[in-house]
């Protein structure tokens, strides 16, 4: 089943578009992404299909009948519906072709999508095509009325070719017709990699951009695209949600690290673009998060829809918009609203849209007051929340407080993208053990969404026990040096979190600052006061020091949670709040999580019972543990298997360079299609069983290598490039079981022996 964006077609779509949507969704493989009416750089094709082994395909859908068509030629069609006036429209095939060429021309500015050798150097490396769909005309009618003379058959899909309920419908024929809609037969078909598809989505759809690092561009503005690196995009689920939030009031519940704030910021940009005159208010609970959201929104609003123009605005600090971002208390202070929210009727500031981040932290009275600031005509209120991070234990009835009914208007984000599998599993086990007892009669617990992890893996959380706090901080400082020098993690991507600032015997933050200064490490005390929270700039090259509360909504590559022997805090009556706080702290970490203490508490006892604890007398062992995981920026966005493949790919490419043998090119031309499709079927079932995307199991290029050389033994399997111990352990037996039933190709086997034996 194809991945559809949006995942359901709007009610206002034509009956023909609904038919095409249904057929595409049910008939195409799961690695196909299908967009309905996407806005692409000023154009809006009916359907855009992106797939690894297809390329890009634009479809133009028409509900014409044979009686609607008065006169047609290759440029214009003369249409008349019943007694209506005769109208002239552009030929459907020309519409589809123009839209596709518009998209292709735009993508040609991205060098990673081009071929750089041979006759077609400088052109897109993948096929792109276009076609028309006539939902109320059959093949027989196209022949009878000579429509095929104008709209060639291989560019045309008719009712009997796409209607699932039609007697002659064939899924294989339907897919074959799509593959035939590519006019440039001389261009060699190359498969789109996962990275290629992310790059295409990044450039075509500004609303899914998460981040991009750039090198300073050269003289001409077009070269900005050539200088982009490290693209990151939302996955299809996040993109669907961002695009389908819809009008009026909405509630999004998501786990930590699921992209809630990102979707909120994307929503702000969409609202501002569609309604430039609207006044928009964004609220959250803490000051540091408000600062970060403000910076994120400013960047998104400065980013033009056409990325070619980005260089002209990149260095501009000026952004004209009607978007205001506050933490709650800053908002009521700025607007001179009383602490209890009371003001004379008609005195409340009015906003056309209000968006609330970390909504679980808001008091009921606050929501009631905020609802009075919302334009009753637009009703555009978006609340995002995570009940697992409800450290203030707020309970409220949204309908009663806001006067808006959220039933049927809620969406859920259960996939954690921020943390590695090791960090998320560690944090969630702790949270379940100390708060979540499965009691569904407690509504606040019933609303907690258990997170689902991605396949991204990394080092296990490191637990360290010191004899005193100064020794603990010394360990933190040495670890920071190691991460910075050996793993290239910038200081700006590290944070030290603490529960309390001081007690009767220690000033913990003062000790922290002193030891960091001794180690000549730059730091910024984020939570020192309200002013430092407002001055917070994450990109500033300094290690941040913060309370756990002030870190909500933030994330860093490396997180150090210190002084855990003060958790749960003795003066906090609600121990579940303490557990939620530590869960928040742990889930701030993207790659590295360090937990340290120098005393004893309920939580330190738990840590010692579930994990290996490093101590001062085993420093060498810890150094080895740190050094054992090569986790760089390049591999941070991959699975453990993919990280292994990067190393193996380099080795294999060196070997192939010596033999001057291009295994990918050879496999593309010589693989056994039957074996390849059989392996793809196995991968699809494996992915469904694991509940992961198919490409995370094994890539198409690797399946093609298997379908070319068809190894029958472990030795032959392990001799292939990209198929080392890790892959053998995970899938070797299953794959050999399939391949042993397949006949070897003599030609492939000879090359296999000569090249890789």
Mean pLDDT is lowest, of 232-246, 383-397, 488-502, 635-649, for 635-649
> Cβ distance 656 to 662 under 8 Å?
yes
Listing from the earlier edge strand, what are the strands of the sheet with 69-72? 69-72, 76-79, 87-90
Domain map (residue ranges) of the chain: 3-191, 236-413, 452-628, 640-756
Whether the bond between 109 and the residue before it is cis, its omega within 30 degrees of 0, is: no
- DSSP annotation of 198 reads H
Backbone angles phi, psi at 432, to 5 degrees: -60, -40
| Tokens read off for 754 | 């000569």
Mean pLDDT, the chain, whole residue set: 79
The pLDDT-based confidence of 344 (bands split at 50, 70, 90) is low
Strands 33-36, 47-51: pairing kind: antiparallel
Whether 576 shows a pLDDT value over 50: the answer reads yes
Q: In this predicted structure, what is the pLDDT of residue 315?
A: 47
Question: What pLDDT digit, counting tens, does each position of 483-525 carry?
Answer: 999 888 999 999 999 999 988 888 999 999 999 999 999 999 9
In angstroms, rounded to a whole number, what is the distance separating the alpha carbons of residues 410 and 249?
Answer: 9
Task: Quote the pLDDT of residue 394.
Answer: 54
Residue predicted with more confidence, 428 or 596 = 596
Residues whose CB is less than 8 angstroms from the CB of residue 634 and which lie 6 or more positions away in sequence, other chains included: 646
Q: Indicate if the pLDDT at residue 586 is higher than 90.
A: yes
CA separation for the pair 40, 120 (Å, rounded) = 25
* Residue 463 three-state SS: strand
Lowest mean pLDDT among 19-23, 31-35, 686-690: 686-690
Q: Is a pLDDT exceeding 60 seen at residue 622?
A: no
Check residue 454 and give its pLDDT. Answer: 64
- The 10 Å Cβ neighbour count of residue 295 is 16
Indicate left, alpha or beta for 214 from its phi (over 0: left) and psi (-120 to 50: alpha): beta
| pLDDT value of position 246 | 66
Query: pLDDT digits over 114-127, tens only?
Result: 887 777 778 888 88
- In CATH, the architecture of 640-756 is Orthogonal Bundle (1.10)
Beta strands of 140-224 (E only): which ranges?
Answer: 156-157, 209-214
Report, as an integer, the average pLDDT of 449-470.
82
CATH code of the region 236-413: 3.40.50.300
pLDDT tens for 354-375 read 999 988 888 888 888 888 899 9
Residue 301, pLDDT score: 81
Are 78 and 71 in contact by the 8 Å Cβ rule? The answer is yes
- Fold (topology level) of 452-628: Rossmann fold (3.40.50)
For residue 27, the model assigns a pLDDT of: 93
* pLDDT of 122: 80
pLDDT of residue 243: 63
Percent of all residues in the chain with a pLDDT value above 90, rounded to a whole number: 31
Q: Please state the rounded mean pLDDT for residues 556-562.
A: 95
Closest listed residue to residue 713, CA positions, set 698, 730, 735, 697:
735
Look at residue 641 in the predicted model and tell me its pLDDT: 43
- What pTM, to 2 d.p., does this model score? 0.56
Beta strands in 22-155 (DSSP E): 33-36, 47-51, 55-62, 69-72, 76-79, 87-90, 128-134
Q: Is 577 a residue whose pLDDT tops 90?
A: no
Q: Given a cut of 50, is residue 289 above it in pLDDT? A: yes
Instruction: Give, in order, the Cα–Cα distances in Å from 205 to each of 44, 208, 515.
Output: 12, 6, 47
Check if the beta carbon of residue 671 is closer than 8 Å to that of residue 707.
Answer: yes
* Alpha carbons 706 and 703: distance in angstroms, whole number: 5
Predicted local distance difference test score (pLDDT) of residue 185: 57
Q: Find the range with the poorest average confidence among 66-70, 177-181, 654-658, 704-708.
A: 654-658
Which has the minimum average pLDDT: 112-121, 199-208, 610-619, 697-706? 610-619
Note the pLDDT of residue 255.
77
- The secondary structure of 595-624 as a DSSP string is EEESS--HHHHHHHHHS-EE-GGGHHHHHH
Residue 662 has pLDDT above 70, yes or no: no
**pLDDT tens digits, one per residue of 564-575:** 999 998 888 788
Q: Do domains 236-413 and 452-628 have the same CATH topology?
A: yes
65-104, pLDDT tens digit by residue? 999 999 999 999 999 888 888 899 999 999 999 999 999 9
313 has a pLDDT exceeding 70: no
Is the C-alpha dihedral spanning 106, 110, 111, 113 positive or negative? negative
Residue 401 has pLDDT above 60, yes or no: yes
- The reported pLDDT for the residue numbered 679 is 86
């Amino acid at each position: 089943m194809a991945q559809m964006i949006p995942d359901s077609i709007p009610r206002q779509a034509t009956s023909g578009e609904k038919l095409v949507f249904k057929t595409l969704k049910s008939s195409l493989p799961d690695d196909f992404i299908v967009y309905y009416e996407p806005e692409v750089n000023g154009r809006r094709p009916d359907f855009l299909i992106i797939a690894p082994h297809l390329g890009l395909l634009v479809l133009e859908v028409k509900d014409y009948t044979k009686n609607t068509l008065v006169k047609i030629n290759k440029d214009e069609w003369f249409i008349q519906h019943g007694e209506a006036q005769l109208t002239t429209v552009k030929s459907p095939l020309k519409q589809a072709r123009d839209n596709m060429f518009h998209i292709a021309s735009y993508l040609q500015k991205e060098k990673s999508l081009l071929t750089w050798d041979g006759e077609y150097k400088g052109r897109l490396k993948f096929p792109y095509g276009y076609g028309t769909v006539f939902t109320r005309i059959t093949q027989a009618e196209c022949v009878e009325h000579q429509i095929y003379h104008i709209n060639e058959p291989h560019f045309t899909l008719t009712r009997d070719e796409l209607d699932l309920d039609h007697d002659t419908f064939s899924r294989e024929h339907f897919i074959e017709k799509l593959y035939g809609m590519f006019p440039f037969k001389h261009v060699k078909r190359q498969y789109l990699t996962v990275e290629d598809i992310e790059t295409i989505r990044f450039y075509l759809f500004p609303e899914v951009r998460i981040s991009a690092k750039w090198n300073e561009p050269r003289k001409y503005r077009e070269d900005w695209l050539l200088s982009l690196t490290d693209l990151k995009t939302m996955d299809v689920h996040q993109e669907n949600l961002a695009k389908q939030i819809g009008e009026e009031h909405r509630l999004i519940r998501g786990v930590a690290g699921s992209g809630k704030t990102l979707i909120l910021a994307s929503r702000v940009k969409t609202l501002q673009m569609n309604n430039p005159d609207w006044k928009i208010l964004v609220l959250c609970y803490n000051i540091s998060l408000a600062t970060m959201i403000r910076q994120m929104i400013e960047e998104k609003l400065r980013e033009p829809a056409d990325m070619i123009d980005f260089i002209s605005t990149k260095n501009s600090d000026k952004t004209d918009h009607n978007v205001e971002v506050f933490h709650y208390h800053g908002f009521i202070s700025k607007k001179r609203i009383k602490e209890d929210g009371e003001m004379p009727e008609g005195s409340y500031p009015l906003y056309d849209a209000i968006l609330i981040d970390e909504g679980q932290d808001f008091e009921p009275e606050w929501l009631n007051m905020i609802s009075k600031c919302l334009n009753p005509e637009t009703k555009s209120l978006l609340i995002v929340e995570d009940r697992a991070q409800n450290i203030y234990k707020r309970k409220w009835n949204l309908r009663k407080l806001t006067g808006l009914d959220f039933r049927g208007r809620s969406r859920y984000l259960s996939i954690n993208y921020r943390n590695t599998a090791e960090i998320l599993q560690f944090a969630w086990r702790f949270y379940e053990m100390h708060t979540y007892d499965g009691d569904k009669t407690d509504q606040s617990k019933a609303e907690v969404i258990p997170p689902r992890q991605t396949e991204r893996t990394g080092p296990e959380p490191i637990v360290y026990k010191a004899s005193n706090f100064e020794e603990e901080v010394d360990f933190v400082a040495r670890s920071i040096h190691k991460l910075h020098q050996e793993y290239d993690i910038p200081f700006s991507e590290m944070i030290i979190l603490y529960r309390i600032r001081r007690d009767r015997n220690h000033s913990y933050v003062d000790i922290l600052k002193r030891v960091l200064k001794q180690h000549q490490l730059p730091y910024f005390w984020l939570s020192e006061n309200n002013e430092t929270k407002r001055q917070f700039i994450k990109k500033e090259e300094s290690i941040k020091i913060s309370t756990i509360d002030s870190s909500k909504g933030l994330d860093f590559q490396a997180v150090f949670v210190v002084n855990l022997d003060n958790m749960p805090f003795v003066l906090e009556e609600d121990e579940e709040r303490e557990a939620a706080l530590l869960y928040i702290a742990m889930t701030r970490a993207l790659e590295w999580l360090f937990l340290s203490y120098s005393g004893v508490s309920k939580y330190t006892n738990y840590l010692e019972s579930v994990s290996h604890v490093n101590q001062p007398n085993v420093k060498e062992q810890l150094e080895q543990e740190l050094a054992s995981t090569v986790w760089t920026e390049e591999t941070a966005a991959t699975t453990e298997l993919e990280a292994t493949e990067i190393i193996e790919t380099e080795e294999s490419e060196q070997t192939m360079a010596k033999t001057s043998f291009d295994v990918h090119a050879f496999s593309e031309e010589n693989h056994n299609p039957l074996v390849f499709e059989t392996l793809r079927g196995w991968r699809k079932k494996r992915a469904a069983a694991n509940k992961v995307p198919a490409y995370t199991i094994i890539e198409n290029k690797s399946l093609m290598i298997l379908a070319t050389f068809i190894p029958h033994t472990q030795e032959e399997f392990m001799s292939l490039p990209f198929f080392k111990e890790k892959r053998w352990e995970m899938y070797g037996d299953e794959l050999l079981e399939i391949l042993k039933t397949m006949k070897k190709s003599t030609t492939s086997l000879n090359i296999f022996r000569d090249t890789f034996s």
